[in-house]
Structure 1
Amino acid sequence: MNHVKKLLNGRSLVLVGMMGVGKSTVGRRLAKKLSLPFVDADEAIEEAAGMHISEIFENFGESYFREGETRVIQRLIAEGPAVIATGGGAFINDITRQSILDSSLSIWLNADINILVDRVSRRNHRPLLHGKDPETVLRDLAEKRDPFYAKADYMVMSNNAPHERTVSEIFATLLADKIEI
């Protein structure tokens, strides 16, 4: 754990990937093990806007949300080091993605669509899924987003095992590469 923290060299560790993959849950555990702050970018956006993401989407639309998301993520990176969990669409934005790649270490948490469908079906708070079939939406999103996620520095699979296993996989991936983070 200390080896990974040293390798970060003052940079943030940013988790990217589809909704439901476990970025926030895994991120909290990673931050704890690294003795770094954890920030959920969606929560930071809600705090900055003074409203829920679903309200931002409803009142102002997705493009307005994405502009605010970019500003918040850039601020979070500048305030680092921290472990930052981004929203599913954040890494798709060219400016946001470049900010993350230039100043942080990015990890794409990936998962099988069936796992994602199971996870997102447990709660009803995701604006992109409102009134739609989760599997259809997630498959469409994955087709569009996976090429962008693949630009992350690393990819780690998230599965139905306990989240601690994903955390261990992240540490193993970083240490195996002996990266100069």
Structure 2
Amino acid sequence: MNRKTISHPVFLCGMMGSGKSTIGKQLAEDLEVPFTDLDELIEESEKMTIPEIFNRKGEKRFREIEKQQIVKIAGSVEGVVALGGGSLQNQQIVDHLKLYGWLVYIDASQVEILNRLSDTTGRPMLENSVELEQRISTLFDQRMQFYEQAHFSIQTEKKSVEQVTTEIVKKLKIYEGRDYH
């Protein structure tokens, strides 16, 4: 990683479907730093997909694996990291991530998330959900207390990926106290 670019990794948090991976890839490219997707790391370490882990091991075990990966990488990862939607499970994880990097909340509305996920498959938290809208509302209620503790948030509604990453870079410049690009 080019240390002149950012001094700490950037951890993107937010609901599933908020665009963390898409935004993360573009942000990493803009900053000329590596990109890491936490779900991909978990799939590599477990040698199965996220839905397979949920089906075979259950959500509780998945969250344990997810927490282990976060703790493992937080102090050594470089660049931009897209976290899973439920990665911020408790205060300890939030504090840990904020200790090692910039925590950025990718803020998409419940309506936007519902639109993005309504025809999506392969998301274990939603596959068995009878009422998608209610499930999304419940997840927002459970997770918002952690998302809101991010160093800063970026609203994504009616914005292109490029507009979102430009905003993130501008805010990082303020937090980093430096000018790059």
TM-score norm. by structure 2 comes to 0.89
Cα pair 1:40 1:85 within 8 Å, conserved = yes
Aligned to 2:152: 154
Query: What's the offset of the Cα at 1:95?
Result: 3.3
2:106 aligned counterpart, secondary structure: strand
Q: In the alignment, what sits opposite 1:112? A: 109
Tell me the distance in 2 between the aligned counterparts of 1:160 and 1:75: 35
Query: Which shows bigger deviation, 72-81 or 22-31?
Result: 72-81
Q: Shift of residue 129 of structure 1?
A: 0.5
Write the distance in 2 (CA, Å) between the matches of 1:26 and 1:122. Answer: 20
User: CA, structure 1 residues 82+75, in 2 after alignment: closer, same or farther (shift >3 Å)?
Assistant: farther
The total of aligned residue pairs comes to 176
Structure 1 runs not aligned, ≥5 long: none
Secondary structure at the counterpart of residue 28 of structure 2:
helix
TM-score for both structures, normalised by structure 1: 0.89
Q: Aligned runs of 1:6-155 on 2, under 5 Å?
A: 6=4, 8-9=6-7, 11-132=8-129, 133-155=131-153
Q: Please state how far the C-alpha of 1:142 moved relative to its aligned partner.
A: 0.6
C-alpha deviation, 1:34, in angstroms = 0.9
Look up the equivalent residue of 1:45 and give its one-letter code.
Answer: I
Instruction: Look up the SS of the partner of 1:8 in the other structure.
Output: coil
Letter in 2 for 1:171: V
What CA distance in whole angstroms lies between the structure 2 residues aligned with 1:88 and 1:141? 9
- CA 1:103 to 1:178, structure 2 compared with 1: closer, same or farther past 3 Å? closer
Name segments (4+ residues, structure 1) moved above 6 Å.
none
Q: Residues 91 and 146 of structure 2 are in contact (CA less than 8 Å); yes or no, is this contact kept in structure 1? A: no
CA positional deviation for 1:76: 2.4
Percent of aligned positions with the same letter in both sequences? 32
Q: Residue by residue, what CA displacement relative to the aligned partner does 1:89-127 show, whole Å, maximum 9, x if unpaired?
A: 101233322221111110001111111111112321111
Is the CA contact 1:8–1:180 (under 8 Å) kept in the aligned structure 2? Answer: no
Contact 2:63 2:87 in 1 (8 A): yes
* Structure 2: gaps (5+ residues): none
